[in-house]
Amino acid sequence: MPTDESKNISRSVEKCNGNCGGGGDDDVDKREYDNAVRYRDGAVKLRNPNLYLLDQDILYHLALGSGSHDLVEMFGDVKFVCMGGTPKRMEQFAYYIMQEIGHKLPCGTTLLDISQYSYRYSMFKVGPVLSISHGMGIPSVGILLHEVIKLMYHAKVRDPMFIRIGTCGGVGYEGGTVVITEEAVDGMLKPYHETPILGKIVRRPAKMDKQLTKDLIALAHPEDPYDTIVGKTMCTSDFYEGQGRLDGAFCDFSEQDKLDYLTKLQKAGVVNIEMESTAFAALTHHAGISAAIVCVTLLDRLKGDQVMAPKEVLDEWQMRPQKLVSRFITQYLQRKGRLSLEGHGSMCVKSPRRFKLVQQESQNCD
Ligand code: R2B
Ligand code: URA
């Protein structure tokens, strides 16, 4: 059941009339960020003076370094940093966005996991899009964000946009619903990311970029065969007890306690629960980077705890946030005249009949 705070926008989408998809060089003003953490040209400025003194900066968990790699050459053209939990999903997103933006790989080449030798995260680059896996939970996404934000600085990327494409549990919304985060709150319903630093709790506001969030909302199509909603996202440090599940290895509360808690969340405007949003929102905001979160619900937590949908159904549901984000990226590039539907170098078949003959010839030589 939608609450007052959440808005079911799937049937009453305000169409974006060529105005959405911001964040570029000419619409920097619309973005909500602190000038103190950006250079005037939009490049990411680091809030850590120690880094300016380093001879080289090793981005250990990405298997990259400012001394070993030409990071400007490799990543200088990045505009969108998309992150999601698993390496497989982010590889699949890379192939999907490649097709959607018409990015062509040179003939005989394939996408490579740039961070494969870190054995921690996976990273794929498709033109202006980076697709990176962040693993599960705040510590994992936090470490990655430190390194990717530094990567943006070393690569001199201007006005990057970070978007998390994830999964979550719905609070009153059935599986397959797309949820855009309006505000991230922690397990105590506070809109902060709190972390101990040198023995003190440091609290940072978990703010999303309002304009980017609006731009994404505007791209939900009324004809999408599922709902796209917007509301508060609760971020927990655990999947089981932390999310009020009855099916963990331990459970010291009753089913009624669980339902009372979820109902309280619902009344507070929480529409979904996941495990990275507060850190994602707070660290990007602290770095002055525009960020948004789009998730798909895997179940309605008011109705159960176990994820029971068949694999094919889950796979289709997980495409939904990707489709929305892809619409945004495609529209942005189109507006900038950078949609490359005429790529060069990839396999390009002129005559399918002759192509087949050549293939058969080659196979006969085996
Ligand atoms: C959603 O799904 C994962 C837990 O299954 C976690 O990373 C999250 O936020
Ligand atoms: N991810 C979560 O963190 N919770 C869920 O219920 C489903 C996916």
Band of the pLDDT at 109, cuts 50, 70, 90?
Answer: very high
For the segment 111-154, what is each residue's pLDDT rounded down to a tens digit? Answer: 999 999 999 999 999 999 999 999 999 999 999 999 999 999 99
For the segment 222-245, what is each residue's pLDDT rounded down to a tens digit? Answer: 999 999 999 999 999 999 999 999
Which residues are bridge partners to 179 per DSSP? 229, 295
Residue 306 is assigned to a ligand binding site:
no
- Give me the pLDDT at residue 7, please: 39
Say what the pTM is. Answer: 0.87
Mean pLDDT of the chain: 88
Q: Is the CB of 184 under 6 A from ligand 1?
A: no
CA of 158 to the centre of ligand 2 (A): 33
Residue 120 is assigned to a ligand binding site:
yes
Band of the pLDDT at 39, cuts 50, 70, 90?
Answer: confident
Band of the pLDDT at 45, cuts 50, 70, 90?
Answer: confident
Alpha helices in 132-290 (DSSP H): 138-154, 210-217, 255-267, 277-286
CA-nearest residue, atom 6 of ligand 2: 169
- Give me the pLDDT at residue 339, please: 77
Q: Which of 86, 89, 136, 168 to mutate to test the pocket of ligand 2 (most atoms within 8 A of CB)?
A: 168
The neighbour count for residue 204, using CB atoms within 10 Å, is 16
Residue 165 is assigned to a ligand binding site:
yes
Which residues have C-beta within 8 Å of that of residue 116, sequence separation ≥ 6? 63, 122
Q: Is the CB of 268 under 6 A from ligand 1?
A: no
- Give me the pLDDT at residue 11, please: 29
CA of 192 to the centre of ligand 1 (A): 19
Q: Closest by alpha carbon to 233, among 274, 204, 194? A: 274
The neighbour count for residue 172, using CB atoms within 10 Å, is 23
> Is residue 181 within 8 Å of 280, Cβ to Cβ?
no
CA-nearest residue, atom 3 of ligand 1: 136
According to DSSP, the β-strands at 228-235 and 270-274 are parallel
Residues with CB under 6 A from ligand 2: 167-169, 239, 243, 273-275, 298
Q: Which atom of ligand 2 is found nearest the CA of 275? A: 3
Residue 334 is assigned to a ligand binding site:
no
Distance CA 292, CA 212 (A): 6
- Give me the pLDDT at residue 30, please: 44
Q: Is the CB of 140 under 6 A from ligand 1?
A: no
Written as one letter, the residue type at 310 is P
> Quick check: 22 pLDDT over 60?
no
Band of the pLDDT at 307, cuts 50, 70, 90?
Answer: very high
CA of 210 to the centre of ligand 2 (A): 24
Topology classification of domain 7-364 = Rossmann fold (3.40.50)
Which residues have C-beta within 8 Å of that of residue 119, sequence separation ≥ 6? none
Q: Closest by alpha carbon to 209, among 133, 288, 291, 271? A: 291
The neighbour count for residue 351, using CB atoms within 10 Å, is 9
Per residue in 279-317, is it b (16+ CB within 10 Å) or e — as a string? bbbbbbbbbbbbbbbbbbbbbbbbeebeeeeeeeebeeb
- Give me the pLDDT at residue 37, please: 77
CA-nearest residue, atom 5 of ligand 2: 169
Distance CA 153, CA 75 (A): 10
Band of the pLDDT at 358, cuts 50, 70, 90?
Answer: low
